[in-house]
């Protein structure tokens, strides 16, 4: 009887036990993979912009004022502008060559030369006489009629220095005694002066175009 109780107790003791879980290797956490943070690079500095040249500066160059930011006088082509004092300080596109600046073909910092046109349009030179037998109909005064030809001295200035590179005298047409005069003032005392045509925009523009392509002068 006692042995039976021992067996029962042993069975009961065994039935109250739980089976230990099988041993397993400790789990090693998988290494995490992450993207390296991008290396910060200093921003690439933008190239320094070339300062523009203003119309006021270009006009002042005709008075001898240097423009340090202008392009050096060099190369086979010399970007330029025509500044006409009679039209103001603007780069007026009445001159066809100035359209290259206005359109950006020649950017303002690339300007090397300035063609300076004077304000005075009345300079002239005597080129002959039509005789002394001309009579003014209003009062019968007889006098000489002389022929005058307009002239204009154009200066070319190096923009960077304000110094004159060269000059050119352009002329209007020579009047004829039997033809028409562009100007004839009979209200003054004789000799009376008859003028040919004035210097044209086309003449000045043609000269400026030639200057832009001439060899560098030293």
pTM, entire model: 0.74
The percent of residues in the chain predicted with pLDDT above 90, rounded, is 68
Structure confidence by residue, pLDDT tens digits, 167-191:
999 999 999 998 889 999 999 999 9
* Helix residue ranges, H only, the chain: 2-15, 55-61, 99-102, 201-211
DSSP 11: H
Structure tokens at 156: 């070319």
Structure confidence by residue, pLDDT tens digits, 89-134:
889 999 999 999 989 899 888 999 999 999 998 899 999 999 999 9
Rounded Cα–Cα distance for residues 1 and 9 (Å): 12
Rounded Cα–Cα distance for residues 152 and 120 (Å): 8
Rounded Cα–Cα distance for residues 200 and 100 (Å): 20
∠ CA 156-161-165, rounded to 5°: 30
Q: Are 160 and 72 a contacting pair, CB within 8 Å?
A: yes
Structure confidence by residue, pLDDT tens digits, 135-152:
999 999 999 999 999 999
What does the pLDDT average to over 28-52? 53
User: Residue 88 — pLDDT band, cuts 50, 70, 90?
Assistant: confident
Give the per-residue pLDDT at 30. 47
Question: β-strand 183-184 against 142-143: which pairing, if any?
Answer: unpaired
Residue 32 has pLDDT above 60, yes or no: no
* Dihedral angle computed from the Cα positions of residues 87, 192, 176 and 147, in that order, rounded to the nearest 10 degrees: -70
Q: Positive or negative CA dihedral for 189, 190, 193, 194?
A: positive
Rounded Cα–Cα distance for residues 112 and 81 (Å): 9
Rounded Cα–Cα distance for residues 148 and 129 (Å): 9
The percent of residues in the chain predicted with pLDDT above 70, rounded, is 77
């Amino acid at each position: 009887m006692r042995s039976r109780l021992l067996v029962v107790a042993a069975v009961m003791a065994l039935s109250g036990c739980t089976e230990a879980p099988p041993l397993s290797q400790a789990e090693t956490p998988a290494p995490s993979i992450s993207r390296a943070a991008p290396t910060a690079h200093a921003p690439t500095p933008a190239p320094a912009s070339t300062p523009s040249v203003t119309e006021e500066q270009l006009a002042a160059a005709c008075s001898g004022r240097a423009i340090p930011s202008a392009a050096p006088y060099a190369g086979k082509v010399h970007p330029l502008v025509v500044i006409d004092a009679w039209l103001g300080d603007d780069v007026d596109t009445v001159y066809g060559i100035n359209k290259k600046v206005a359109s950006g073909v020649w950017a303002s910092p690339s300007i090397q030369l300035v063609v300076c046109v004077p304000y005075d349009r009345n300079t002239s030179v005597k080129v002959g006489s039509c005789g002394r037998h001309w009579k003014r109909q209003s009062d019968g005064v007889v006098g000489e009629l002389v022929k005058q030809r307009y002239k204009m001295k154009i200066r070319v200035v190096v923009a960077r220095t304000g110094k004159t590179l060269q000059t050119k005298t352009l002329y209007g047409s020579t009047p004829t005694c039997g033809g028409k005069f562009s100007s004839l003032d009979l209200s003054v005392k004789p000799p009376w002066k008859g003028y040919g045509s004035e210097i044209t925009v086309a003449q000045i523009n043609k000269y400026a175009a030639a200057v832009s392509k001439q060899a560098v002068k030293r």
